[in-house]
Structure 1
Amino acid sequence: MKKIVISSLMLFGLLVLNSCTDLTENVLDESSVTGLTDRQAADGNLAPVYARLPDLFTHTNYFAVQEISTDEAILPYRGGTDWGDNGIYLALHQHLPTSTDPNLRNTWLILAQGISRSITALNTLPTINDSNTKVYLAEARGMRAYYNMMLLDLFGLVFKKDDPQATSEILRGEQALEYVKSELLAAEPDLLTTVGPGRLTKGGAWGLLARLYLNAAVYRDPYAAQFAFKTEDMDKVIEYTDKIISSGQYQLAPDYFSVFNADNHTNKELIFAVDQRAELNGHNRLAYFSLSGDQFPLPAFTGANGTDGPAITPDFYRTWVNAYAPQDPAGIDPRFYRKNLNIPADSCMTAGSVVMDRGILRGQQYGLLRVNGAFVRCGSNYRVGRLVHITRNRPTLPVNFTEQIDFSVAGSNYNTGYRVLKYEFSPKSQSGRNLGDVDIPIVRLADVYLMRAEAKLRKSSDAAGALADVNAVRASRTASTPAPALTSMNLDLLFRERGFELYWECQRRTDMIRFGKYEGTWTEKTNADRQKRLFPIPQTAIDGASNLPGYLTQNASY
Structure 2
Amino acid sequence: MNLDMKKYITIVCSLVLLSACTGQLDVTPNDPDVILVDDFYTTPESYKQGLAGVYGNLSLTGPSGPGSSSIQGLDAGTSQYGRGLWNLNELASDGAVWSWENDPGLRSLNRNTWSATNPILRGMFGRLMNSVSYANEYLRQTTDGALNDRGVDDATRADIQVYRAEARFLRAMAYYNMMDLFGQAPMITEDDPVGAYQAPKADRAELFAYVESELLAILPEMAEPLMNEYARADKAAAWMLLAKIYLNAEVYIGQDRYADCLSYCEDIIAAGFELTPDYLMNFMADNDETVARNEIIFPVVSDGITTQNYGPTTVMINGQVGSTEANGGDFGVAAGGWGGALRVTQQFSEVFMNGSYGTDDRNTLITADRTIEVSDIADRSTGYIIGKWSNKTSGGANGSANEIVDTDFPMFRLADVYLMYAEAHLRGGGGSATTAVGYINDLRTRANNPNTIGQSALTLDLILDERQVELHWEAHRRQDLIRFGKYTGSAYNWSWKGNAPNGIPLGAHMAIYPIPEASLAANPNLTQNPGY
TM-score by length of 1: 0.77
Q: 1:469 to 1:303 in 2, by over 3 A?
A: closer
1:292 match = 322
- Out of 149, 161, 183, the position equivalent to 2:214 is 183
1:532 match = 510
Q: 1:530 to 1:197 in 2, by over 3 A?
A: farther
Distance in 1, matches of 2:332 and 2:204, equals: 52
Cα deviation 1:482-531 (Å, max 9, x = unaligned) = 44212311111111110110001000000000011102311121133111
What pairs up with 1:424-443 in 2 under 5 angstroms? 424-426=390-392, 427-428=398-399, 430-432=401-403, 434=404, 436-443=405-412
Distance in 1, matches of 2:230 and 2:480, equals: 23
Distance in 1, matches of 2:161 and 2:522, equals: 35
Runs (4+) of structure 1 exceeding 6 A deviation are: 298-301
Distance in 1, matches of 2:181 and 2:331, equals: 40
- Out of 101, 108, 115, the position equivalent to 1:83 is 101
User: AA paired with 2:262?
Assistant: I
Q: Does 1:4 align with 2:36?
A: no
Distance in 1, matches of 2:21 and 2:280, equals: 43
- 1:308 alignment partner, SS class: coil
Q: 1:171 to 1:418 in 2, by over 3 A?
A: same
User: AA paired with 1:428?
Assistant: G
TM superposition shift of 1:173: 2.7
Q: How many percent of aligned residue pairs carry the same amino acid?
A: 28
1:523 match = 495
TM superposition shift of 1:475: 2.2
Contact 1:159-1:170 at 8 Å conserved across structures: yes
Distance in 2, matches of 1:299 and 1:184, equals: 38
TM superposition shift of 1:404: 1.4
Contact 1:49-1:117 at 8 Å conserved across structures: yes
Distance in 2, matches of 1:57 and 1:239, equals: 32
Distance in 2, matches of 1:58 and 1:157, equals: 18
Gaps of 5+ in 1: 77-81, 221-227, 337-358, 364-399
- 2:10 alignment partner, SS class: coil
Cα deviation 1:120-171 (Å, max 9, x = unaligned) = 1111122242242101100011110000000100000133322241453321
Distance in 1, matches of 2:36 and 2:342, equals: 45
1:224 match = none
2:142 match = 125
2:22 match = 14
TM superposition shift of 1:199: 1.4
Distance in 1, matches of 2:331 and 2:36, equals: 47
TM superposition shift of 1:362: 1.9
- 2:412 alignment partner, SS class: strand
2:177 match = 150
2:451 match = 484
The answer to which structure has the higher strand fraction is 1
Distance in 2, matches of 1:418 and 1:58, equals: 27
Distance in 2, matches of 1:261 and 1:160, equals: 37
Contact 1:295-1:306 at 8 Å conserved across structures: no
- Out of 2, 15, 30, the position equivalent to 2:36 is 30
What pairs up with 1:71-470 in 2 under 5 angstroms? 71-76=94-99, 82-85=100-103, 88-126=105-143, 127-128=146-147, 129=152, 130-131=156-157, 132-162=159-189, 163-165=191-193, 166=196, 167-193=198-224, 194-220=227-253, 230=256, 233-248=257-272, 250-266=273-289, 267=292, 268-278=294-304, 280-283=306-309, 284=311, 285=314, 286-293=316-323, 294-297=326-329, 305-324=337-356, 329-330=357-358, 332-336=359-363, 359-363=364-368, 400-406=369-375, 408=376, 412-426=378-392, 427-428=398-399, 430-432=401-403, 434=404, 436-459=405-428, 463-470=433-440
Distance in 1, matches of 2:164 and 2:275, equals: 30
Distance in 2, matches of 1:402 and 1:535, equals: 32
- 2:352 alignment partner, SS class: helix
1:495 match = 464
User: AA paired with 2:437?
Assistant: L
How big is the alpha-carbon RMSD for the aligned residues of Structure 1 and Structure 2? 2.6
- 1:442 alignment partner, SS class: strand
TM superposition shift of 1:464: 4.1
TM superposition shift of 1:308: 1.5
TM superposition shift of 1:320: 1.7
TM superposition shift of 1:420: 2.2
What pairs up with 1:501-512 in 2 under 5 angstroms? 501-512=470-481
The answer to which structure has the higher helix fraction is 2
Q: 1:31 to 1:555 in 2, by over 3 A?
A: closer
Q: 1:302 to 1:323 in 2, by over 3 A?
A: closer
Q: 1:212 to 1:273 in 2, by over 3 A?
A: same
- 1:297 alignment partner, SS class: helix
TM superposition shift of 1:539: 0.8
Contact 1:94-1:524 at 8 Å conserved across structures: yes
Distance in 1, matches of 2:37 and 2:495, equals: 56
Q: 1:17 to 1:468 in 2, by over 3 A?
A: same
- Out of 515, 524, 528, the position equivalent to 1:554 is 528
1:52 match = 57
Contact 2:15-2:53 at 8 Å conserved across structures: no
Aligned length: 460
Gaps of 5+ in 2: 2-7, 61-78, 393-397, 498-503
Distance in 1, matches of 2:330 and 2:111, equals: 36
Contact 2:185-2:526 at 8 Å conserved across structures: no
Distance in 2, matches of 1:309 and 1:299, equals: 15
User: AA paired with 2:97?
Assistant: I
User: AA paired with 1:553?
Assistant: T
TM superposition shift of 1:4: 3.1
Q: 1:39 to 1:304 in 2, by over 3 A?
A: farther
User: AA paired with 2:119?
Assistant: P
Distance in 2, matches of 1:464 and 1:303, equals: 46
- 1:11 alignment partner, SS class: coil
Distance in 1, matches of 2:423 and 2:464, equals: 9
TM superposition shift of 1:431: 4.3
